[in-house]
Chain A
Amino acid sequence: NAGVMQNPRHLVRRRGQEARLRCSPMKGHSHVYWYRQLPEEGLKFMVYLQKENIIDESGMPKERFSAEFPKEGPSILRIQQVVRGDSAAYFCASSYSSGNEKLFFGSGTQLSVL
C-alpha cells in the first residue's frame, strides 16, 4: 500500500516557465491538500480538493497558481510564469475523510526557480 507519492522530487525552472507538480494520494483517499514551506518555516496551506472539486483555495495566490484533482489521475498543482519567489518545498497530503482525520504527507517537491 504505497503512501502519498509526489513527483518530481526536485524541479528546476527558469523564470517565466511553467511548473507542474503531481500528487497521487494514498489508495482510497479522496481528499488532497497542498502546502508550501519555506526553509525554517511552518506549512502554509494553499488549497484543499476533493475529487473534481476545489473545496478551499483561500491560501493560493489568485494569479499564476491553479490546482486540480480529476476523477482519474493525480492531483496537479500548476504554477505558470514562475518567479524566484516561488522557490519552496511543496507538500501534498491526503486523508480518507474531511479533515478531522490525520493527514498522510508525501515527501514533497523542491522547486527551484533560477
Chain B
Amino acid sequence: SQQGEEDPQALSIQEGENATMNCSYKTSINNLQWYRQNSGRGLVHLILIRSNEREKHSGRLRVTLDTSKKSSSLLITASRAADTASYFCATVAYNAGNNRKLIWGLGTSLAVNP
C-alpha cells in the first residue's frame, strides 16, 4: 500500500522562485528517496537521504529529513522552466528484510512559469 503523502498536490511558481515540496510517511524507514518524472517519461532518481542524515544537497536541490515527524522536504532553488515535472518521494522501510520495495507517494506536480 502507498504510505507516502506529498504536499502540495500541485504547485505553480515563477521562474527564479524557490519550490518546496513535502513528504510524510508512516513507518520507520531505512532511507527516503526523491524522484522526478517528466510528462510521459519514466522516473529519474534525484537524491537519497538515509535515516541517520538530516540534510543533503545536490546542485540546486536540498532535501531535509525529520524522522521524529516522519517527514521530508525537497527544496528546488532558483527554479527554471525545465524543472516543470512531477516529484515523488519513496521510502524503504527499516529492516524490511529481503523484500525492500519502495513505498511511493502520489507526487507533487510542479509548474514553473517562464
Contacts and interface: CB of A to CB of B under 8 A. Distances in A.
Interface stretch (B13-21, B55-63, B95-103): B95-103
A100 interface: yes
Contacts of A6: 42
Task: Name which of A44, A105, A106 has the most chain B CB atoms within 10 A of its CB.
Answer: A105
Contact of A105 (B43, B48, B107): B43
Given A99-B92, A102-B48, A55 B43 contact: no
Contacts of A41: 106
A93 B2 CA distance: 17
A99 B100 CA distance: 5
Interface residues of B, number: 25
A98 B48 contact: no
B99 A48 contact: yes
Contact of A98 (B98, B106, B109): B98
B27 to A, nearest CB: 15
A4 interface: yes
B45 A103 contact: yes
Contacts of B99: 48, 55-56, 99
Interface of A: 4, 6, 33, 40-45, 48, 55-56, 89, 91, 93, 98-100, 102-108, 110
Q: Which 5 A-B pairs have the closest CB atoms?
A: A99-B100, A105-B42, A42-B106, A102-B45, A105-B43
